Amino acid sequence: MAEHYTCDVLVVGSGPGGYVAAIRAGQLGLDTILVEDGRLGGTCLIRGCIPSKALIEAAEKFEQASINASGNSSIGLSADKPDLDFKKTIAWKDGITDKLSSGVAGLLKAAGVRIVSGWAVFENAKTCSVGDDKITATNVILATGSKSVELKGLPFSKEKDGPIISSTEALDLTSVPKKLAVIGAGYIGMELGIAYRKLGSEVTFIEAAKTILPGFDKQLSAPVSKWLRDHKVSIQTESFAKSVSTKDGKHTLFYTEKNGAEVKLVCDKVLVTVGRIPNTEGWGLENMAVDMDGAFVKVDDKCRTAMRGVYAIGDLVGEPMLAHKASAQGEMVAEIIAGKKRRFAPAAIPAVCFTDPEIISVGMTPSEAKDKGLDVVAGKFRWAANGRALTTGTADGGGFVRILALKTTGRIIGIQAVGRHVSELSGEFVLAIEMNATLEDMAGTIHAHPTLSEATMEAALSALGHPIHSV
């Protein structure tokens, strides 16, 4: 029997923006309904951030075991050659996502949020159909996320074991491809390509830009480039993938180099990672009278759309398309609906690339500061002078922490780092900028020894002109 539900808040999409918005709205006493067509957790939890990090961790352990078996361990370890049961690896990864998805369900239930399973289609700004049921809400939060971009000549394979895959399928393969072509050397392609190289694949990157990781400056990407060279990963920049042909079960990728020459590459899988676009089709957005900003839904600093009582958050509203941005916006919007005074104006949003080595960028880079005409001072501290970095392998292949501050006041406006296991430092970096910390604040804060975090303090000392452990 068809139902007609009413509620204070309707949230569409259960990714890190949507489920956080729903939980917070429920906590604030708002009658809340969450609509989700798939599993709770959205792209990040089910087919993105979390499963990719699980695969990266498994790949790291397999590589280390392989190094130990080869007799090349720098710390004297040796072992038998490891075997990889990849189906078991994927099952382990799925177990993690299952646990977290169940956890989200429990949190929503505890907050009193009603969950309606199905695809929402809006007939107007405040009413949608989900199958035979209807929902009418006083406030609507759109959190539909994004999807992988398809290339015109390389549409994703419809068949289950097809050659052309997105990051979603790359996380659900039943075997490690012997030869993997990755189209796009941005952070998604790099993370997955490096993981599969560690698992034994021969990997070739095809990138249209002049450099890998075009979103990061050359100093930050240089240690990653070194890892790729050391591990015999082929990088074809200023090159364009055109098509894939299949004959006798063999797949051939055709691409053109910068000189116009056409190249053929035989491979088992072609992973296309050329970006993501917001999910705006198929759910009646055109009936909601919201304004658009290019491909994105246009919002103000409270995530309000042009339609009163309709909000949009996360990947749907533009860059940076990051899970933690969506979560922050979701929490904020729920509080605004509940009557609190909030606006979305973060001093910085951290960006982390889980390559080997990892990259963190928070706030401005030196080139961005220069473009804005800011008078700045920078300090850098290399991992090679940090005791903990030497014992964990973080110092291998170079890497550093770099801090940027205004010359007049010393206020920190940007911190970047590259090195193994450095992603956990991102919290300190963004907190320093959010709290308007100065170089003196950072340099005067006693950091535990021996830890990687000491490098941030040392970089601040360097910017002040009196480094202790570097020259």
> Which residues does the annotation mark as catalytic?
449
Q: Residue 148 pairs with which residues in a beta bridge?
A: 276
Report yes or no: 363 and 414 within 8 Å, Cβ to Cβ.
yes
Residue 52 CB neighbours (<10 A):
20
Task: Give me the numbers of helices (H) and strands (E) for the chain, helices first please.
Answer: 13, 24
The CA distance from 177 to 169, in Å, is: 12
CA distances from 466 to 47, 378, 471 (A): 47, 13, 9
Report yes or no: 8 and 99 within 8 Å, Cβ to Cβ.
no
The CA distance from 453 to 415, in Å, is: 12
**Residue for token digits 């907190």?**
431
The CA distance from 221 to 357, in Å, is: 9
The CA distance from 331 to 115, in Å, is: 18
Phi and psi at 234, nearest 5°, equal -85, 130
Radius of gyration of the chain (CA): 24
Closest-CA residue to 43 (of 152, 136, 168): 168
Q: Is the dihedral of CA 43, 154, 352, 393 positive or negative?
A: positive
Report yes or no: 195 and 177 within 8 Å, Cβ to Cβ.
no
Residue 73 CB neighbours (<10 A):
14
The letter for the amino acid at 31 is D
| Tally of CA atoms within 13 A in the half-sphere of 342 that contains its CB | 18
The CA distance from 377 to 107, in Å, is: 45
